[in-house]
Amino acid sequence: MKKILFICLMALAWGMQAKAGNYPDRSDYLWMTVPDHANWLYKTGENANIEIQFYKYGIPRDAKVSYEIADDMLEADKRGTVNLKNGRATLNMGSRKTPGFRDLRLTATVDGKTYSHHVKVGFSVGDIRPFTQEPKDFMDFWKANVKDMEQTPLQYTKEMAKEYCTDKVDCYLVKLQVNRQGQSIYAYLFYPKNAKKGSCPVVLCPPGAGIKTIKEPLRHKYYAENGCVRMEMEIHGLDPRLPQETFKDISTAFNGRENGYLENGLSNRDNYYMKRVYLALVRAIDLLTSLPEWDGKNVIVQGGSQGGALSIIAAGLDSRVTQCVANHPALSDMAAYSVKGRTGGYPHFNRIPGTLTPEKIKTMAYYDVVNFARHVKCDTYMTWGYNDNACPPTTSYAVWNTLNCPKEALLTPINEHWTSEATERGHLDWILKHLK
């Protein structure tokens, strides 16, 4: 079943949490941009008209607004100014001849300060297709590497993490060896208190991008409170208990633009940094399915951004996965920037000189999410926003349109690179509804 659930949030509620007020950032100024299509979507050749509104203290404010219009994540091809009257003006963004997104970028200088805003609208988004093609030996490459990893016995340590235990949840810190070289990853395992043998679905949660500790380990404790074993993992082999200052130092030293881990070894598919990360996903599932508490049926992967990418990758690599939940996946159609006028995904290799070479583009194809998406067979739930400049909507649609499995999507057009608490909790609701 292919079903799209559409939620168009009001601009006034941008970034709002359930308990937040009308202006969560406490700004005196408020932009609103209202497309003349309520779903923010158009057909190629249709013009998109955007009503621009600007307020100070909730009162319409006249201003001269500079604008530029561009295809998603690309250089502007149109610039101009528009004068707001009674705080409002309507601007014709034009259209697209090909499927994709256009971005209206706005700036206004009032009272000596400059305020910016933007809005993206889509054109014939169901026809967006990835630039990235699957190598003929794609699955052979990954099957061989998984088989090689399996020669290393499952080995891990597990110790109680009392600081994250509650009256309903037990937590353990795990160190899991992922290959014969002895490289490992760390993870927190959250169990329902007094979980019975064979009673729990297992949920693997890969992290977002960066070299950092495991973020707020208890933020998803409600998974364990609702009967799941959840694994919050990191990918670099760094103990999450290290001081924050240490993580910052490591990230500064080894994750700059010129030496970031997502470019490390990219000239050769066998030496790329992310190879062991992708294989670690399979090893983590090995661990989860070895637990006596696992119900023997349900294996779920769930994450956002890089974590969303890794969730789809795990589902494409490992047939044990029964559900995949992914927010705005990164690592999607990464090489598309190599073609003029095409939008690529995070980590936006077009911004790193010398990256989009034939050798590196060849390697990218073995690690791109769209190629794993072609092999996903399990129930899949995707979420993305249109205003996202980290993982742009063009590449989310490239993934979505490639998936050939039972799938549902939650579209939140106004969102940038974030999801609300309600959306996050909705993921668990969806998971519980689709258990085997």
**3-class SS at 188?**
strand
Mean pLDDT of 370-389: 98
Task: Please report the pLDDT score of residue 25 as a whole number.
Answer: 74
The burial class, CB within 10 Å (0-12 / 13-18 / 19+), for 277 is: buried
Q: Give the whole-angstrom CA distance, residue 318 versus residue 278.
A: 11
Q: Which residues are identified as catalytic?
A: 305, 388, 417
- The pLDDT, as a whole number, for residue 204 is 98
Q: pLDDT tens across 38-56, in order?
A: 999 999 999 999 999 999 9
| Coil, strand or helix at 163 | helix
Residues 402 and 283: their CA atoms lie apart, in Å, by 26
Domain 27-127 architecture: Sandwich (2.60)
What are the residues whose beta carbons fall under 8 Å from the beta carbon of 246, sequence distance 6 or more? none
- Cα–Cα distance for residue pair 48/166, rounded to 1 Å: 51
Beta-bridge partners for 83: 64
Neighbours of 307 (CB within 10 A): 24
Q: Which fold has domain 138-433?
A: Rossmann fold (3.40.50)
- pLDDT tens profile 297-331: 999 999 999 999 999 999 999 999 999 999 999 99
Residue 164's pLDDT band (cuts 50, 70, 90): very high
What's the pLDDT score for residue 17? 36
Domain residue extents for the chain = 27-127, 138-433
For Cα atoms 430, 418, 383, give the angle at the middle one, nearest 5 degrees. Answer: 35
Residue 14 confidence (pLDDT) above 50: no
Q: What is the pLDDT of residue 259?
A: 85
CA 164 centroid distance within chain: 26
Write down how long the chain is. Answer: 436
pLDDT in tens, 66-90: 999 999 999 999 999 999 999 999 9
- The CA-based dihedral angle spanning residues 391, 265, 366, 102, taken in that order and rounded to the nearest 10 degrees: 20
pLDDT value at residue 24: 66
